[in-house]
Amino acid sequence: MLLAKECEKRRVAVGRNGKTRGYPLGGEGPLNNRKSVGIPEAVGLYDPRLEHDSCGVGFVANIKGKPSHEIVTNALTMLENMDHRGACGCESNTGDGAGILTGLPHDFLVKVAKRDAGIQLPAKGNYGAGLVFLPSDSEQRLACEKKMEEVIAAEGQKFLGWRDVPTDNSSLGPSARRIEPKMKMLFIEGVKHRSGEALERSLFTIRKLASNACFALNMDQSGYFYICSLSTKVFIYKGQLTPAQVTLYFADLRDADFSSHLALVHSRFSTNTFPSWDRAQPFRFMAHNGEINTRRGNINWMRAREGMFQSSTMSPEEIEKIKPVIEPEGSDSADFDNCLELLIRSGRTLPHSVMMMIPEAWQNHESMDPRRRAFYEYHSSLMEPWDGPASVAFTDGDCIGAVLDRNGLRPSRYYVTTDGMVIMASEVGVLPVPAESVAKK
């Protein structure tokens, strides 16, 4: 239910399949802690936390792990061909969100870090990099940068520097441009934990602490702090964009030296929820087409468990630093990603974690292998399913895959080619493949 003063701020969004829906623009008045810019306040019986989304998702990967710029361009082509799965506002050039996740492009980063910021990067795997959304106001931006640098030092790692990310907002509509953050790239060298999963966990802790510290600054409406990714393995470019605007907005993606062995893309249709720069996907480990219908229960159970957390990889003091696990004001997909990240950082593999969160319908599956049934039955005592019509693609930079919900209500399709490529998407045809090169589909 929307009250009259909220209805005055409505705008209609039109999906590229002709469907329409509306949502409040919001974004007026002071920005509360933990609020995404552009997301409205709860009013009367209306609560924006109860919204869901449904989108398009896909990935391209080289099975042998061979990086190339072609994988990036193919993924961007796939993204643009899923334009109909996204949505725009009454301004056709203001999108609901789109983005791309790739492997960390080490050679490219070495070049631009030295050229643009005078930073000499260490060997691959010994540093983390990420894209950070910062406030457009220079005073607030400097405050956030200082907090970030303080957290890095406190966690025993070495801050290497910031790089301004070249962007072109000339194709963006007024609504997206009004809340556009400042884009910067961050580099951190591993000192306390030099490489591997220990460094990944340290970067995870740094991100959580810095986010909490910057949200506590209680910035005004121009305040925007969000870390898209901070990792030794993956990098994310995303925003409140249409699929076609991703390549136009981020010049880095057009650089021939930008290579990856995998690329995960997402086009957002925020069915009845709200677009914002941080709610664009992919998130840090996944991209999602559908809805998590059990979201409120999943969040509440996770909060209830936080007091009982134990880990063989993190001390009790380190565990306290990563709370709350589910970050407020996220979408259902963001909540899922928060939980998935926790499971992975606790020492589980990515496939293990995904199967815990989205189990098959195992209870009455008479022909299921007994060992697989035992896996699901055991983990059902640890975590309830994150249920809903969902197709989820996931990656940690080493492994990439996809899974459907137990009812298969958000189907996806995949091809494996004779030259070692795997192509998965919400539908067939988003990346043309010659019939003779298809080994399996």
Distance CA 25, CA 7 (A): 10
Q: Which two tokens stand for residue 78?
A: 């796939």
Sorted by sequence, the CB contacts under 8 Å of residue 129 that are 6+ apart come out as 104, 109, 185, 186, 187, 188, 230, 231, 232, 235
CA atoms within 13 A on the CB side of 381: 4
Query: Rounded to the nearest 5 degrees, what angle is found at the Cα of 123, between the Cα atoms of 119 and 125?
Result: 110
Residues present in the chain in total: 441
Cα–Cα nearest to 39, from 29, 26, 51, 30 = 26
| Ranges of H-type helices in 63-195 | 69-81, 106-117, 138-154, 174-178
**What are the respective helix, strand and coil percentages of the chain, to the nearest 5?**
30, 25, 45
Q: Does residue 345 contact residue 206 with C-beta atoms inside 8 Å? A: no
Distance CA 338, CA 323 (A): 11
Known active-site residue 7: no
How many other β-carbons are positioned within 10 Å of the β-carbon of residue 62? 19
| Strand blocks (E) in 247-316 | 262-267, 286-290
Q: Does residue 164 contact residue 183 with C-beta atoms inside 8 Å? A: yes
Q: What are phi and psi of 394, to 5 degrees?
A: -140, 150
Q: Does residue 215 contact residue 33 with C-beta atoms inside 8 Å? A: yes
Catalytic-labelled residue, pool 55, 214, 228, 339: 55
Residues with a known catalytic role: 55
